[in-house]
Structure 1
């Protein structure tokens, strides 16, 4: 088994050797790069400003080692494709694209202010059940829009769900990183080249992904949403392993633990929804992200009030590390 390197996050340019020379450069006369915000397994993210209006943006480039890697360039273009084809405000817009002086690509993204669910969990511990239901409903709606256009995210996890509070106090939810998504529009040879490999973060992949099956549909993301809910409710991921191979084997062979056994006071309807979302057999899960959202509606209380409560909890800051992993930081051989 081979493994991709996990993202490493940094807070200062001095800690980033990759692409250091880009700081202060002007890209195609339109963007001035500032400091590096973070580095992932295959990409580097810079803060930047758009020269025409001084607007803050984020610029993503491939690391030196991967600057001309055909597969990773294709993945970067896939994220651009998703942002332009899927009309939903929950998907971070790609504002522009271009080429660096060395001929490698760059992508310009909207700069987000907010807090990812992973950081919220680290700060507050397990999230209130009705808040988990409300966040998942919003995330499921975004994924349903993507699925309707033929895209399966394949890497849903708390780091990729970002919460923000709008100027009028409402909750804004975004899903990041479609760089490892499966596309119904992809050529057959691309899908076949993915056979036997696992795309996504191992702790959150579905059993069919863990088997290295490239022909997944939206129910793989439904499984990941179940994993997301489990962790948000309990503060821990449902599956753990001593290494990636062991973890993937457990996901393939074992039923997910019941959240109700860990939280005996939890409304049993949550346990039922999470268990169905995380069913090992694809045909036993909710048939779509939308149907999962519908099952959660009675559990979210008054959604306007619930979402206002969540928005009040959010701490705003630039989501630095969560913008890094556009291209696969995990692409491992299947168990």
Structure 2
């Protein structure tokens, strides 16, 4: 099919998870349930960490931001998917698609930054406890989050501006349930070398270095834990890191599988299913991981429920 200029493109077609009509109602119910659980769970984390003064610490400040970003990340993809299933259509407009690319990359990058900052926070708390309140003061915490937003704003904006230079065939089909950047580059009909170069550069800088930073932090954390003589202190320190490690493993593990499998042997169905893990499942599980494995969060949640129960 002859490629047309991107200005002539009005819409794309999202293939989704299945073209089987009998599966649509099952997928709608499943993803609607997951979306609601994600919203309620993360909103509860935000409410608990905001209302309980015991949780007004850097660690829970970053957790609150992570929950907010997870809400935004899931809201970028799932509502459009649910609308398409309900309306029995696969259409997404050109403008909606680029907007989805921008916000998805923005919030995914923020997840990446926040997990890295949280690892650094645990490193300072365990390895430099006497200087913790000085190093991780509210000004520094706010500045770290603000810089992360600024960086991702410009990175996502450059991605979107580069996308606007590409041309696509009319009625282009995207083998995914949302407008994912790498899938769009694959179906483009114009040269994507600049886009791919910038994508690889960003992945190297904002993907590899944070992982190295997290690994460095936990290397020193484990070393510090081994030197502790008190089993109680070891358990307390490890309990604050266990939840973070679970989330990091889910987020980076599934992301690594997606990019590795797509670079070795492209399989749209496999990539789509794996993408669900870090776009839907991980944001949904984060509140449970942090609440079930964290005594402070469970205690704050209990105090909040008692306060609501005894409210006249």
**TM-score over 0.5 for the alignment?**
no
Structure-1-length-normalised TM-score: 0.27
The structure carrying a bigger strand percent of its residues is: 1
Structure-2-length-normalised TM-score: 0.29
Structure number with greater CO (CA < 8 Å, separation at least 6) is: 2
